[in-house]
């Protein structure tokens, strides 16, 4: 029961801690009028330009960067928000959130595509008021793909087509061209033939109105925007860098692996303690950045904690493995999966099935990986120096004065009895009216089960159920 108290105590501390760290701010939902820099810039203008880089896959960390940068730019009353972009794409839901943030921005938004604006990067670029590109850059190839890289079913393409079309219309660009960047069935004479997904080079984007200018670098763009600019840059603190690191899908998957590795390890060796503590630590590192970023909600974290508590009850209170254990696993998986989705409580509108199924696959793969890892490394882990430091590993040698009557209960080997307590590795048995301490040689043995003593070693009776 001490482990159960520790779990509840740690979970309470976790919720209180992240509530103190997280403060949600209301965001404006009013769509500003479309702006272009052409009517706002002259060589003698002074302007405040806020710049930041977006040169990573479009995952939660990228959304966090854009959200914080745009909000900070608006606090500084910047005239322009300049994005230095280079990405091959990423998650559609993250790109959609970034797109809306840029569309709602009060300042004039400008993107400089430095090499690539593919897939989700194309949607982000189209959401800006002006698009600039370096020589030999490209924009397009926004077809939705699944986890294996294959093209997703048409219903997912339909959502992306509508987003690209709507954003292009909002910014005064040709919506059919934007749609052709998703759908390889669209034919635009003189621009794209069928069976090809549209991708523009810099010169092609200039020709067809999807690029407002070609520049060599960010400094040239800044000179173009203002003769006497005040340039501000987004600076990430070490906490931001840590949160962004923990939000990376690979890191999130590894943390989930540790969570389930610890839970499975505790189920296999109840009472050891350190596997479940490792699981709790990984859960804190997993949920904290997702909570701060607005992905994980209170009820989703509570659902995960409820699953953890149910499993603890199953291991330390209720004999066997039944309803509580199954419900616990379901709650754990559901809590982790939902924490990867940008839902509003039970409102999942705008979240594609491919995104939800991808989150579930990520969680299930972590479960499978943790079980496989424990099977492969379980024995070696018990023999590792780190593990031995956590347990008593001294030998009570006879030469040092220790004495044990090792043959005291040898006569009980082969005799049958009954378990009078649950044997979760160890417990009490009764043979011929006498009670003894015993250790199971197999899995859990329920109280009242008939047992047989198989051996006596290391001063312990080893028992198993009678076949």
Give the span between the Cα atoms of 87 and 117, in whole angstroms: 6
Residues 364 and 407 in one domain: no
Q: What is the pLDDT of residue 225?
A: 92
Residue position matching structure tokens 């596997």: 275
Q: Which of 215, 235, 255 is the last residue of a domain?
A: 235
Residues 177 and 297 in one domain: no
Residues 274 and 209 in one domain: no
Q: Evaluate whether 51 touches 235 at the Cβ level (below 8 Å).
A: no
Q: Which of 356, 388, 420 is the last residue of a domain?
A: 388
Q: What is the pLDDT of residue 35?
A: 45
What domain count does the chain have?
Answer: 3
Q: Evaluate whether 287 touches 339 at the Cβ level (below 8 Å).
A: yes
Whether residue 148 is contained in a domain is answered as yes
Q: What is the pLDDT of residue 292?
A: 77
Q: Evaluate whether 457 touches 443 at the Cβ level (below 8 Å).
A: no
Residues 441 and 295 in one domain: no
Whether residue 14 is contained in a domain is answered as no
Whether residue 294 is contained in a domain is answered as yes
Residues 226 and 359 in one domain: no
Residues 369 and 257 in one domain: yes
Whether residue 26 is contained in a domain is answered as no
Residues 446 and 364 in one domain: no
Whether residue 77 is contained in a domain is answered as yes
Whether residue 12 is contained in a domain is answered as no
Q: What is the CATH number of the domain that holds 444?
A: 2.40.50.140
Whether residue 146 is contained in a domain is answered as yes
Residues 220 and 254 in one domain: no
Residues 357 and 223 in one domain: no
Residues 217 and 277 in one domain: no
Residues 231 and 243 in one domain: no
Residues 70 and 202 in one domain: yes
Give the span between the Cα atoms of 366 and 339, in whole angstroms: 15
Give the span between the Cα atoms of 303 and 336, in whole angstroms: 9
Q: Which of 207, 235, 263 is the last residue of a domain?
A: 235
Whether residue 7 is contained in a domain is answered as no
- Which pLDDT tens digits describe the chain residue by residue (467 residues)? 455 455 545 555 554 454 444 443 333 333 333 344 444 444 447 899 999 999 988 988 888 899 999 999 999 999 999 999 999 998 888 899 899 999 999 999 999 999 999 999 999 999 999 999 999 999 999 887 766 667 777 777 888 899 999 999 999 999 999 999 999 889 998 898 877 889 999 999 999 999 999 999 999 999 999 888 999 999 877 777 788 788 887 888 888 888 887 777 666 665 556 777 888 888 888 888 888 777 788 898 999 889 888 877 876 676 555 788 788 888 988 988 888 887 777 777 666 676 777 788 888 888 787 777 766 765 555 455 554 554 444 554 555 544 444 466 788 888 999 988 888 667 889 998 888 888 887 677 888 889 988 888 767 788 888 87
Q: What is the CATH number of the domain that holds 125?
A: 3.90.226.10
For the whole model, what pTM was predicted?
A: 0.60
Q: What is the pLDDT of residue 25?
A: 35
Of the candidates 131, 119, 143, 141, the one whose C-alpha atom is nearest the C-alpha of residue 200 is 141
Give the span between the Cα atoms of 428 and 435, in whole angstroms: 7
Domain that holds residue 298: 239-388
Q: Evaluate whether 265 touches 374 at the Cβ level (below 8 Å).
A: yes
């Amino acid at each position: 029961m001490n482990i159960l108290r520790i779990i509840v105590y740690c979970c309470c501390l976790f919720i209180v801690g992240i509530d103190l760290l997280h403060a949600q701010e209301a965001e404006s939902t009013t769509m500003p009028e479309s702006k272009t820099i052409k009517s706002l810039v002259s060589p003698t203008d002074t302007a405040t330009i806020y710049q930041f880089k977006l040169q990573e896959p479009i995952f939660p960390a990228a959304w966090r960067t854009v959200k914080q940068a745009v909000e900070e730019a608006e606090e500084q009353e910047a005239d322009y928000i300049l994005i230095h972009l280079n990405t091959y794409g990423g998650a559609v839901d993250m790109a959609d959130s970034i797109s809306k943030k840029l569309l709602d921005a009060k300042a004039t938004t400008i993107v400089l595509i430095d090499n690539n604006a593919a897939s989700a990067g194309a949607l982000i670029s189209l959401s800006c008021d002006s698009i600039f590109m370096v020589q030999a850059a490209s924009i397009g190839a926004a077809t939705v793909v699944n986890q294996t890289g294959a093209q997703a079913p048409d219903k997912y393409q339909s959502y992306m087509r509508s987003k690209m079309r709507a954003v292009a219309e909002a910014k005064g660009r040709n919506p059919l061209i934007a749609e052709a960047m998703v759908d390889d069935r669209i034919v635009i004479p003189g621009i794209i033939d069928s069976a090809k997904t549209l991708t523009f080079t810099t010169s092609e984007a200039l020709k067809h109105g999807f690029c407002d200018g070609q520049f060599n670098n960010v400094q040239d763009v800044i000179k173009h925007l203002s003769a006497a600019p005040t340039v501000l840059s987004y600076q990430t603190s070490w906490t931001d860098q840590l949160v962004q690191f923990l939000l990376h899908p690979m890191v999130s998957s590894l943390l989930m692996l540790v969570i389930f590795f610890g839970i499975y390890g505790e189920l296999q060796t109840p009472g050891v303690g350190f596997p479940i503590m490792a699981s709790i630590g990984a859960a804190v590192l997993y949920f904290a950045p997702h909570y701060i970023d607005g992905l994980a909600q209170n009820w989703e974290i509570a659902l995960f904690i409820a699953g953890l508590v149910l499993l603890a009850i199953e291991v330390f209170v209720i004999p066997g493995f039944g309803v509580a254990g199954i419900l616990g696993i379901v709650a754990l998986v559901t809590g982790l999966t939902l924490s990867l989705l940008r839902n509003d409580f039970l409102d999942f509108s705008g979240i594609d099935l491919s995104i939800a199924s991808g989150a579930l696959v990520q969680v299930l793969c972590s479960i499978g990986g943790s079980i496989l890892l424990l099977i492969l490394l379980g024995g070696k882990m018990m023999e590792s120096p780190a593990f031995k430091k956590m347990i008593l590993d001294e030998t009570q040698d006879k030469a040092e004065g220790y004495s044990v009557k090792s043959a005291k209960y040898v006569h009980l080997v082969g005799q049958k009895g009954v378990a009078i307590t649950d044997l979760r590795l160890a417990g009490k048995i009764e043979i011929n009216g006498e009670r003894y301490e015993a250790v199971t040689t197999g899995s859990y043995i329920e109280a009242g089960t008939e047992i047989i003593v198989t051996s006596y070693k290391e001063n312990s009776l080893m028992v198993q159920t009678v076949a």
